[in-house]
Amino acid sequence: MKKKIHPEYKETTISCACGEVIHTRSTKQNIRVEICSKCHPLYTGKQRLVDSAGRVEKFRRKYDRQKKNK
């Protein structure tokens, strides 16, 4: 292996918005994430509303208007 080309790995903590804390090694320290495997709907099997801005409803209203104008 060549010397001085590999990044330095440090002990780090990954914190999720749900409160889950994961200890691992990474090139960055103290990583914060919004969704992890403990709270993601794919892993939990429960549907959780992630879209708080109402983007889906906004999209539907926009394209319903276009259909009415035609």
pLDDT in tens, the chain (70 residues): 788 898 888 999 999 988 899 999 999 989 998 888 888 777 677 765 555 567 778 888 888 876 666 5
Structural domain includes residue 30: yes
Structural domain includes residue 2: no
Query: What is the predicted pLDDT for the residue at 4?
Result: 87
Structural domain includes residue 26: yes
Residues near 41 by beta carbon (within 8 Å), at least 6 away in sequence: 47, 48, 50
Structural domain includes residue 50: yes
User: By three-state DSSP, how is residue 64 classified?
Assistant: helix
Residue 39's closest CA among 55, 19, 25, 23?
Answer: 19
Query: What is the predicted pLDDT for the residue at 47?
Result: 65
Whole-prediction pTM? 0.52
Domain tally, the chain = 1
Residue 30 maps to which CATH number?
Answer: 4.10.80.400
Structural domain includes residue 4: no
The residue range of the domain holding 33 is 10-69
Residue 12's closest CA among 1, 23, 20, 4?
Answer: 23
Query: What is the predicted pLDDT for the residue at 27?
Result: 93
Structural domain includes residue 5: no
